[in-house]
Amino acid sequence: MNTNTIYDQPDSRATQLSRALDYVIEQSNSRSSPISGKVDSTRLGAIGWSMGGGGSLKLSTERSLNAIIPQAPYYAGLNRFNTINTPTMILACSADVVAPVGSHASPFYNRIPEATPKAFLEIYGGSHFCANSGYPNEDLLGMYGISWMKRFIDFDSRYSQFLCGPNHAADLRISEYRENCNY
């Protein structure tokens, strides 16, 4: 799924993410669709980058989801992130000048209630694009991203071992890792 325009703000992107999820569910419910019967509408997640990351955060304040991963999230203005109960892993880029960690990713993480499963992974030296494919962090993003989604969309607690504990600081590509395990 892509945005209507590159200028769409996070609230608009949240609406677009929601409509994309609805479309996939509708297609799964259609006998003529190539994905007929292949989508479990009770297990949904979203990932967004930059304003799409802000959109995924906004979406989780409006719709029931099993997991989200905002990447280098950008969101300006008032938000209701303190109402999020969707398991949320925020991927941040330490050298991000578009959505600086101290103004966006970190405060967003801090606003999410402690009762909500959450994690914060900051990539050392990463620009705003550090969470995109084609950059040197693909294996790191894959391990954490897949583990997060498997843990909370598939309810597979075997993936908690990759998300919880002190081993994250050993990877020099990670400048900061926070979580509120035990999940």
Is the distance from CB of 75 to CB of 104 less than 8 angstroms? yes
* Chain center to CA of 15: 16
Terminal C-alpha separation, the chain? 30
The pair of three-digit structure tokens given for residue 31, joined into one six-digit string: 């006998």
Q: Find, among 113, 92, 14, 26, the residue nearest to 60 by Cα.
A: 14
How far is it, in rounded angstroms, from Cα 24 to Cα 27? 5
How far is it, in rounded angstroms, from Cα 137 to Cα 79? 29
What residues are labeled active site?
50, 96, 128
